Amino acid sequence: MSGGVDSSVCAMLLREEGHEVIGITLRFHREACDGELRVCCSPEDVRDAVRVSQHLNIPHLTLGWEQIFEKKVVERFIEDSLKGKTPNPCAICNREVKTGFLADYLKKVADIEKLATGHYARFVEYKNRRLIARAKDIKRDQSYFLCLVRREHLDLLLFPLGEFTKEEVRRIARERGLPVWDKRDSQDVCFLGGKDPGSFIEERVGSQEGCFYYENRPVGRHRGFFHYTIGQRKGLGIALGFPVYVHRLDPGNNGVYLCKEEELYRDWLLVEDINFHLDIKHWERPVAQTRYRSQEVEIADLEKTPEGYLLKLRKPIRGITPGQVCAFYEKDVLLGGGIISS
């Protein structure tokens, strides 16, 4: 229970169905939210989760996992960013801390049957396996962020909101009198505290000014390579008489290499740390999704190499970015995913 409306409705629906429900809240931050900013897993959220649990008359426990979260998510985010990658900490967190890992932990220490979360995703039977699929509310679908959850943890999970829209969830919460029915959704990556990723990292490692390059010639100064991501155009402060985009980051010499837009397209990518929910031998017409809101593209070939899996795509896509997550689907069914290395 994050203290938000989704996980609160999730707990309420399960209780109404007759399940024995215990509210579990993970505290990742000791700082309270600042003003209009809302991030999840803060002390305010713990208090809201307790209020909802009291309203539902269910027991509630808080786990202070600040150190686990710092080590497994925040430190990895900084480390990957300093390698010139653009990481996806939410997908890592779902595997290493708050979804797959938490379900396994609670099974071992409390013998729970299922961990239910407020994710907008569904479970379906597909090719004789219980697999994650996209939610009914496609605008809210969060299956992409679950592609790294290990296969052995899937059977411990429930997603009760998968058949609901966000509007339906808020209406249910309002009609049942849940105290958080109108609470704002969390915004952005929770540990950034409203900062952009580059500013967050700069606070940890200091300012690191360097050069922009176009066709290997210096064309200006930048604030540090970790402030930029592949495909970025806004905020560069470079005037060459035509639009330029970030093409490549070079952490070794703190360089940011620019290009014209047509150079951003690729029809291949290399994926490491790959995770299969369904064995690859059962795949028929898989597609790849390389960012949360990006369009899927058909996979022409998937070849195992010593460096990872090489994906060849049926058409080029823009701005493939190392560190981002690549999720694999067949129809609406999630087949697994991995992390883009190049």
Domain CATH for 29: 3.40.50.620
- Give backbone dihedrals phi and psi of 14, rounded to 5 degrees, phi first: -65, -40
Q: Are 278 and 335 in contact (CB under 8 A)?
A: yes
The structure's pTM equals: 0.92
> Both 281 and 314 in a single domain?
yes
> Both 60 and 186 in a single domain?
yes
Element (H, E) at 81: helix 75-81
Q: Are 208 and 249 in contact (CB under 8 A)?
A: no
Q: Are 132 and 143 in contact (CB under 8 A)?
A: yes
Residue 190 annotated among the catalytic residues of the structure = yes
pLDDT in tens, 87-140: 999 999 999 999 999 999 999 999 999 999 999 999 999 999 999 999 999 999
- Please give the Cα distance from 60 to 130 (Å, whole number): 29
Looking at the chain, the whole-number percentage of residues with pLDDT higher than 70 is: 96
pLDDT for 108: 96
pLDDT in tens, 160-191: 999 999 999 999 999 999 999 888 887 668 88
Residue 203 lies in a domain: no
- Please give the Cα distance from 192 to 200 (Å, whole number): 6
pLDDT in tens, 286-325: 999 999 988 899 999 999 999 999 999 999 999 999 999 9
> Both 248 and 268 in a single domain?
no
> Both 254 and 268 in a single domain?
no
User: 194: pLDDT confidence band, cut at 50, 70 and 90?
Assistant: confident
The residue from 241, 259, 277 where one domain ends is 259
Residue 211 annotated among the catalytic residues of the structure = no
Residue 125 lies in a domain: no
Degrees (nearest 5) of the Cα angle 208, 209, 211? 135
> Both 44 and 65 in a single domain?
yes
Copy the structure tokens of residue 289.
């999704």
The residue from 219, 236, 259 where one domain ends is 259
Catalytically annotated residue among 90, 93, 147, 326: 93
> Both 307 and 240 in a single domain?
no
Residue 152 lies in a domain: no
- Please give the Cα distance from 89 to 94 (Å, whole number): 9
CATH for 217:
2.30.30
pLDDT for 39: 54
pLDDT for 90: 94
| DSSP label at residue 186 | P
> Both 254 and 269 in a single domain?
no
> Both 82 and 172 in a single domain?
yes
Q: Count of domains in the chain?
A: 3
Q: Which domain holds residue 47?
A: 5-118+160-192
pLDDT top residue among 195 and 327: 327
Catalytically annotated residue among 190, 211, 259, 326: 190
| DSSP label at residue 67 | H
Q: Are 112 and 106 in contact (CB under 8 A)?
A: yes
Place of tokens 């493939």: 320
